Amino acid sequence: MPCRKTTYPIDTRSDESTRLSPTLAPRFRTEQQTIVWKGQDEASRLPLTDLWEHHVTTSNEQQGIEQPGEFSGLVAIVTGGSSGIGLAIADELARRGARVAALDLAPQEGVSHHQIRCDVSDSASVEAAVAEAVAHFGQLDIVVNNAGIGAAGTVEDNSDEEWINVFHVNVLGMARVTRAALPHLRRSSSAAVVNTSSIAATVGLPVRAVYSASKGAVLSLTRAMAIDHLKEGIRVNCVSPGTADTPWVGRLLSAADDPAAERAALEARQPHGRLVSADEVAGAVAYLASPLSGSTTGVSLAVDGGMDSLRPRIG
């Protein structure tokens, strides 16, 4: 069926285009755009905003013009952001347009983001790091509380000191960073906090008592923070990865009597038959942090290959 073309002029001296969609308006900067209707009758027309998006995006791609990312103009801090899942998160947010500060106890060479040394178990260190990030970028919109430590053992295997240390980093660390960031987040129209929880918060994993307890606390803290700051326009969510292919898991596997067999067992434990990748977790965090997810708050997003909710048939 032939298509009918209609040309609509845009007056670039006014903000008339913003009446279509605030998120699309910055892209309407040409003198005119061409809309191509599908079919010839009124009922077969595509929605106007869809046609604008399709035409302008296609036109820009043909001209080699890079589209602004959904995080364009926003600033994020990612704790534990110099390696592993944290670095993957920082990379993904930056790829989508954010400016990122990687807060880490051990900044690494070769990391492209603005790195700041930060010990999340120390309030003074956290306050100084958040202040430095805001001073460097001039604002703060997104906090990703990713820094954490692991621990193995049953409830009787870990000392009081080990329990305290894990909670100081995994739980209180998130509270410290968020507390320091809140005055800045309140000034943002796209404020979001994303905490890294774990499958261990909802599924009983063997020999992970203290770690599981800390991640269960993260899940509860996330929901408490979400309701406390809802009316301030600050969204709070958490991501709950399954067993991920990270340097920490790699060290655990290396210490096993049979690393290959241990890895196979970890992969088999997850319904989709493999470890979760850091990039997959990063993609989930980006969704939760995105200004496009304005109605998503108080959510725990599982990235676990179905481990939390699926029960595959064995054999």
Active site residues: 211
Strands (DSSP E) found in the chain: 4-9, 32-37, 75-79, 99-104, 114-117, 142-145, 192-196, 235-241, 300-303
Measure the CA–CA gap between 177 and 204, rounded to whole angstroms.
Answer: 28
For 46, residues 6+ apart whose C-beta sits below 8 A from its C-beta are 37, 38, 54
Q: Which residues pair with 239 in a beta bridge?
A: 196, 301
Which residue, 257, 249, 261, is CA-closest to 200?
249
What's the Cα-to-Cα distance from 93 to each of 7, 28, 76, 82, 142, rounded to whole Å?
A: 37, 25, 8, 14, 10
Is residue 210 within 8 A of residue 158, CB to CB? The reply is yes
Show the tokens assigned to 77: 């801090």
For the chain, the first-to-last Cα distance in angstroms comes to 53
Is residue 297 within 8 A of residue 235, CB to CB? The reply is yes
Show the tokens assigned to 92: 């993904």
